[in-house]
């Protein structure tokens, strides 16, 4: 997700800011508090406020563990690459998930300027769960002719793979990219909800980024790496979403990619399996029953 994209001018200023105060303001965000924050270690208790018995106690960062979207957000939905090309539909099958419809867009091998498409007839492609990729639930498609992996976003997928040549069809396809609903499926009400989702994701990303920076205090190389990745995110998001149909009106792709970025930062801060552990229900301890009164003891009055 956070690819190494050249952002030398932005990175120089960002690193100076990160080294001096270990904080960053994303574009359009309000300035962060000048008070430093420190990420709470796993299992730590609630943060102490200054003056509560320990004047030197640090203020812990408010960076919650973010849960990745579940598979249900894409089940039975027809997704398209960049919201306009091909088709991808995921359904439940006995024992797991499968791709029930797959049409891969590409360009002709003999005439690269001409578009083409490869339809996988009668698609019944098993999806095998893999390790989480940057905090997201991830699956590998069992397609021998063109293997790829996909990460589950909220109502979309971010697919990773290489270009594949289908020689008989004279078509070179590229499964990688952002697969989401057709742009025509979004209405005015949807745009407002999408905007709220992005605002929440940006808030989560800022808080987690600051906590991640503070957790690396004293390690200049690590601070430099974190700051570089954060600086590259805006360019990465633009690269992923610039061709998404109707993005200028819906903002759907940017909202989901921002959400994925916040989850990736959370996984980096808390650990890759933290969201899975946090999602497990906590078993409540049963209170022991009071002992029965001994024979001859007076019966206690009712409460």
Least confident of 13-27, 54-68, 188-202: 13-27
pLDDT (tens digit, 9 = 90+) per residue, 103-154? 999 999 999 999 999 998 766 899 999 999 999 999 999 888 999 999 999 9
Gap between the Cα atoms of 239 and 53, Å rounded? 50
Angle at the Cα of 270 from the Cα atoms of 269 and 273, rounded to 5 degrees: 130
Domain ranges of the chain: 8-23+33-40+62-66+187-277, 71-184
Average pLDDT over residues 280-295: 58
Average pLDDT over residues 51-72: 65
Angle at the Cα of 271 from the Cα atoms of 267 and 275, rounded to 5 degrees: 65
Instruction: Return the exposure string of 36-49: e unless at least 16 CB atoms fall within 10 Å of the residue's CB, then b.
Output: ebbbbeeeeeeeee
pLDDT (tens digit, 9 = 90+) per residue, 256-278? 999 999 999 999 999 866 656 55
Q: What is the pLDDT of residue 43?
A: 39
- Tell which wins on pLDDT, 297 or 205: 205
Query: Hey, CA dihedral for 70, 76, 81, 82, is it positive or negative?
Result: negative
Q: Which residues face 107 on adjacent strands?
A: 115, 172
Gap between the Cα atoms of 65 and 208, Å rounded? 9
- Per cent of the chain over pLDDT 70 is 68
Please, which residues have CB within 8 angstroms of residue 218's CB and are 6 or more apart in sequence? none
């Amino acid at each position: 997700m956070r690819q190494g994209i050249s952002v030398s001018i932005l990175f120089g200023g960002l690193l100076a800011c990160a080294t001096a105060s270990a904080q960053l303001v994303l574009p359009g965000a309000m300035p962060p508090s000048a008070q430093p924050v420190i990420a709470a270690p796993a299992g730590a208790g609630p943060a102490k406020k200054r003056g509560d018995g320990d004047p030197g106690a640090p203020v812990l960062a408010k960076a919650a563990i973010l849960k990745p979207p579940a598979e249900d957000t894409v089940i039975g939905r027809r997704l398209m690459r960049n919201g306009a090309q091909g088709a991808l539909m995921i359904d439940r099958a006995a024992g797991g998930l499968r791709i029930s419809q797959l049409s891969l867009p590409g360009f002709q091998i003999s005439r690269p300027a001409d578009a083409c498409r490869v339809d996988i007839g009668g698609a019944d492609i098993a999806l095998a769960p893999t390790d989480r990729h940057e905090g997201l639930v991830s699956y590998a498609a069992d397609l021998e002719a063109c293997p790829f992996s996909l990460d589950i976003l909220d109502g979309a997928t971010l697919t990773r793979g290489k270009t594949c040549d289908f020689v008989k069809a004279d078509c070179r396809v590229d499964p990688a990219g952002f697969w989401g609903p057709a742009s025509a499926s979004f209405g005015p009400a949807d745009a407002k909800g999408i905007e709220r989702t992005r605002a929440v994701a940006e808030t989560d990303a800022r808080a987690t980024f600051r906590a991640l920076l503070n957790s690396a205090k004293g390690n200049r190389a690590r601070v430099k790496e974190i700051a570089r990745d954060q600086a590259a995110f805006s360019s990465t998001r633009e690269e992923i979403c610039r061709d998404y149909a109707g993005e200028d009106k819906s903002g759907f792709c940017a909202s989901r990619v921002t959400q994925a970025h916040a989850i990736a930062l959370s996984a980096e801060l808390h650990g890759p399996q933290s969201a899975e552990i946090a999602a497990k229900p906590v078993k409540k301890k049963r209170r022991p029953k009071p002992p029965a009164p001994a024979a001859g003891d007076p019966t206690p009055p009712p409460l």
